[in-house]
Amino acid sequence: MNNTVRIALAVAYAAVGIWALMPTPPKPLAAATSPPPAWERPRYERPAPMPRPPRAPPEDMVQPDEYRGSSADEIAAPTPAALHPEPIRRPSVEMTPADLWAIANLKIKQLPPLEYDHYPDDKLVVVKDIATEKELRTVCNYEKQGVNLIGCADMRYPPFCHIYLGPIPEWTGVTRNINLRHELGHCNGWPGDHPGIR
Protein backbone atom coordinates (compact mmCIF):
# COMPACT_ATOMS: atom_id res chain seq x y z
CA MET A 1 0.00 0.00 0.00
CA ASN A 2 1.56 3.26 -1.07
CA ASN A 3 1.53 6.56 0.79
CA THR A 4 -1.17 8.09 -1.39
CA VAL A 5 -3.69 5.38 -0.49
CA ARG A 6 -2.79 5.67 3.17
CA ILE A 7 -3.33 9.41 3.15
CA ALA A 8 -6.62 9.00 1.29
CA LEU A 9 -7.86 6.46 3.87
CA ALA A 10 -6.78 8.70 6.74
CA VAL A 11 -8.60 11.67 5.25
CA ALA A 12 -11.72 9.53 4.70
CA TYR A 13 -11.65 8.31 8.32
CA ALA A 14 -11.13 11.87 9.55
CA ALA A 15 -14.09 13.10 7.49
CA VAL A 16 -16.34 10.37 8.89
CA GLY A 17 -15.21 11.16 12.47
CA ILE A 18 -15.83 14.87 12.05
CA TRP A 19 -19.27 14.18 10.61
CA ALA A 20 -20.17 11.84 13.51
CA LEU A 21 -19.03 14.30 16.16
CA MET A 22 -20.70 17.35 14.64
CA PRO A 23 -23.16 18.99 17.08
CA THR A 24 -26.81 18.83 16.16
CA PRO A 25 -28.47 22.12 15.33
CA PRO A 26 -30.09 23.68 18.44
CA LYS A 27 -33.82 23.25 18.96
CA PRO A 28 -35.92 26.40 18.91
CA LEU A 29 -36.64 27.85 22.36
CA ALA A 30 -40.01 27.24 23.92
CA ALA A 31 -40.78 30.94 23.87
CA ALA A 32 -40.18 31.02 20.11
CA THR A 33 -43.02 28.58 19.54
CA SER A 34 -46.16 30.30 20.70
CA PRO A 35 -49.49 28.58 21.19
CA PRO A 36 -52.14 29.17 18.58
CA PRO A 37 -54.40 32.16 19.15
CA ALA A 38 -57.44 31.69 21.35
CA TRP A 39 -59.87 31.77 18.40
CA GLU A 40 -58.07 28.81 16.77
CA ARG A 41 -57.91 26.59 19.87
CA PRO A 42 -60.70 24.07 20.44
CA ARG A 43 -62.98 25.08 23.28
CA TYR A 44 -63.18 22.73 26.28
CA GLU A 45 -66.65 21.95 27.43
CA ARG A 46 -67.37 19.87 30.49
CA PRO A 47 -69.85 17.11 29.76
CA ALA A 48 -73.13 17.45 31.57
CA PRO A 49 -73.43 15.09 34.55
CA MET A 50 -75.65 12.10 34.13
CA PRO A 51 -78.79 12.29 36.24
CA ARG A 52 -78.91 9.72 39.03
CA PRO A 53 -81.61 7.15 38.70
CA PRO A 54 -84.23 7.51 41.42
CA ARG A 55 -84.14 4.69 43.96
CA ALA A 56 -86.51 3.80 46.69
CA PRO A 57 -85.19 3.05 50.21
CA PRO A 58 -85.23 -0.63 51.15
CA GLU A 59 -88.39 -1.73 52.89
CA ASP A 60 -86.55 -3.04 55.95
CA MET A 61 -84.63 0.22 56.50
CA VAL A 62 -85.61 1.91 59.75
CA GLN A 63 -85.78 5.67 59.83
CA PRO A 64 -83.57 7.28 62.51
CA ASP A 65 -86.44 8.73 64.49
CA GLU A 66 -88.64 5.67 64.24
CA TYR A 67 -89.09 3.57 67.40
CA ARG A 68 -88.63 -0.14 66.82
CA GLY A 69 -89.67 -1.26 70.28
CA SER A 70 -88.22 -4.14 72.26
CA SER A 71 -89.36 -7.55 73.22
CA ALA A 72 -89.88 -8.64 76.80
CA ASP A 73 -87.25 -11.37 76.37
CA GLU A 74 -84.50 -8.82 75.70
CA ILE A 75 -85.28 -6.97 78.93
CA ALA A 76 -85.85 -10.02 81.14
CA ALA A 77 -82.47 -11.77 80.70
CA PRO A 78 -79.47 -9.46 80.39
CA THR A 79 -76.36 -11.14 79.02
CA PRO A 80 -72.80 -10.42 80.14
CA ALA A 81 -70.70 -8.16 77.96
CA ALA A 82 -68.90 -9.93 75.14
CA LEU A 83 -65.44 -8.63 76.06
CA HIS A 84 -65.76 -8.99 79.84
CA PRO A 85 -67.64 -12.17 80.75
CA GLU A 86 -66.24 -12.03 84.30
CA PRO A 87 -66.69 -9.03 86.57
CA ILE A 88 -63.86 -6.57 86.15
CA ARG A 89 -61.59 -6.56 89.18
CA ARG A 90 -60.36 -3.42 90.78
CA PRO A 91 -56.83 -2.54 89.57
CA SER A 92 -54.11 -3.20 92.07
CA VAL A 93 -52.54 0.27 91.93
CA GLU A 94 -53.53 3.55 90.27
CA MET A 95 -50.74 4.20 87.77
CA THR A 96 -49.43 7.72 87.12
CA PRO A 97 -48.00 8.86 83.76
CA ALA A 98 -44.48 8.40 85.21
CA ASP A 99 -45.34 4.78 86.11
CA LEU A 100 -46.70 4.10 82.62
CA TRP A 101 -43.54 5.56 81.11
CA ALA A 102 -41.44 3.33 83.38
CA ILE A 103 -43.47 0.24 82.36
CA ALA A 104 -42.85 1.02 78.70
CA ASN A 105 -39.09 1.28 79.35
CA LEU A 106 -38.52 -1.42 82.00
CA LYS A 107 -35.08 -3.02 81.91
CA ILE A 108 -36.17 -5.82 84.25
CA LYS A 109 -39.56 -7.54 84.06
CA GLN A 110 -41.59 -6.72 87.17
CA LEU A 111 -45.32 -7.08 86.53
CA PRO A 112 -47.20 -10.19 87.66
CA PRO A 113 -49.35 -12.21 85.23
CA LEU A 114 -52.84 -10.84 84.64
CA GLU A 115 -54.55 -13.38 86.90
CA TYR A 116 -52.53 -12.04 89.88
CA ASP A 117 -52.46 -8.37 88.84
CA HIS A 118 -55.41 -7.00 90.83
CA TYR A 119 -56.19 -5.77 94.32
CA PRO A 120 -56.62 -8.74 96.72
CA ASP A 121 -60.28 -9.58 97.29
CA ASP A 122 -59.91 -11.56 100.51
CA LYS A 123 -56.98 -9.89 102.29
CA LEU A 124 -56.33 -6.64 104.07
CA VAL A 125 -53.18 -5.05 102.69
CA VAL A 126 -50.73 -3.25 104.97
CA VAL A 127 -47.94 -1.35 103.18
CA LYS A 128 -44.84 -0.16 105.00
CA ASP A 129 -41.87 1.71 103.54
CA ILE A 130 -38.43 0.67 104.81
CA ALA A 131 -35.56 3.20 104.71
CA THR A 132 -32.58 0.96 103.85
CA GLU A 133 -32.00 -2.29 102.01
CA LYS A 134 -30.26 -3.74 105.07
CA GLU A 135 -33.39 -3.20 107.21
CA LEU A 136 -35.52 -4.59 104.39
CA ARG A 137 -33.42 -7.78 104.26
CA THR A 138 -33.90 -8.18 108.02
CA VAL A 139 -37.67 -7.63 107.89
CA CYS A 140 -38.10 -9.90 104.86
CA ASN A 141 -35.69 -12.53 106.23
CA TYR A 142 -33.79 -12.50 102.92
CA GLU A 143 -30.12 -13.48 103.16
CA LYS A 144 -29.23 -14.09 99.49
CA GLN A 145 -26.41 -11.69 98.56
CA GLY A 146 -25.66 -10.22 95.11
CA VAL A 147 -29.32 -9.43 94.43
CA ASN A 148 -30.95 -6.07 95.04
CA LEU A 149 -34.01 -6.44 97.24
CA ILE A 150 -36.61 -3.73 96.70
CA GLY A 151 -39.65 -5.27 98.38
CA CYS A 152 -41.35 -8.34 99.79
CA ALA A 153 -44.79 -9.58 100.75
CA ASP A 154 -45.43 -11.36 104.04
CA MET A 155 -48.56 -13.55 104.13
CA ARG A 156 -47.92 -15.45 107.35
CA TYR A 157 -50.97 -13.93 109.03
CA PRO A 158 -53.95 -15.00 106.87
CA PRO A 159 -56.30 -12.05 107.08
CA PHE A 160 -53.46 -9.66 106.27
CA CYS A 161 -50.86 -9.24 103.56
CA HIS A 162 -47.96 -7.15 104.79
CA ILE A 163 -45.97 -5.46 102.01
CA TYR A 164 -42.57 -3.99 102.76
CA LEU A 165 -41.10 -1.62 100.16
CA GLY A 166 -37.45 -0.59 100.23
CA PRO A 167 -35.32 1.93 98.38
CA ILE A 168 -35.21 1.32 94.62
CA PRO A 169 -31.93 1.83 92.71
CA GLU A 170 -32.42 4.35 89.93
CA TRP A 171 -30.79 2.12 87.28
CA THR A 172 -33.65 -0.40 87.51
CA GLY A 173 -36.25 2.02 86.11
CA VAL A 174 -38.80 0.62 88.58
CA THR A 175 -41.13 3.03 90.38
CA ARG A 176 -42.76 2.58 93.78
CA ASN A 177 -46.14 1.81 92.19
CA ILE A 178 -44.65 -0.87 89.91
CA ASN A 179 -42.94 -2.40 92.95
CA LEU A 180 -46.21 -2.29 94.90
CA ARG A 181 -48.05 -3.92 92.00
CA HIS A 182 -45.42 -6.69 91.97
CA GLU A 183 -45.85 -7.36 95.68
CA LEU A 184 -49.67 -7.28 95.43
CA GLY A 185 -49.30 -10.11 92.91
CA HIS A 186 -47.61 -12.14 95.66
CA CYS A 187 -50.51 -11.27 98.00
CA ASN A 188 -52.83 -12.87 95.41
CA GLY A 189 -50.85 -16.12 95.47
CA TRP A 190 -48.21 -15.50 92.79
CA PRO A 191 -45.31 -17.87 93.62
CA GLY A 192 -41.88 -16.53 94.59
CA ASP A 193 -40.16 -18.01 91.52
CA HIS A 194 -42.20 -15.52 89.43
CA PRO A 195 -43.73 -17.72 86.70
CA GLY A 196 -45.25 -15.67 83.85
CA ILE A 197 -43.58 -12.41 84.90
CA ARG A 198 -44.06 -9.67 82.31
135-176 pLDDT, tens digit per residue, is 999 999 988 888 889 999 998 888 899 999 999 998 889 999
What is the tens place of the pLDDT at every residue in 25-65?
766 665 556 677 777 777 777 888 888 877 766 666 655 55
Q: If we measure between CA atoms, which residue out of 178, 185, 192 comes closest to residue 110?
A: 178
The pTM (predicted TM-score) of the whole model is: 0.56
What is the tens place of the pLDDT at every residue in 78-108?
555 555 556 666 677 888 999 999 989 888 8
Helix H segments across 22-164? 72-76, 97-104, 133-140
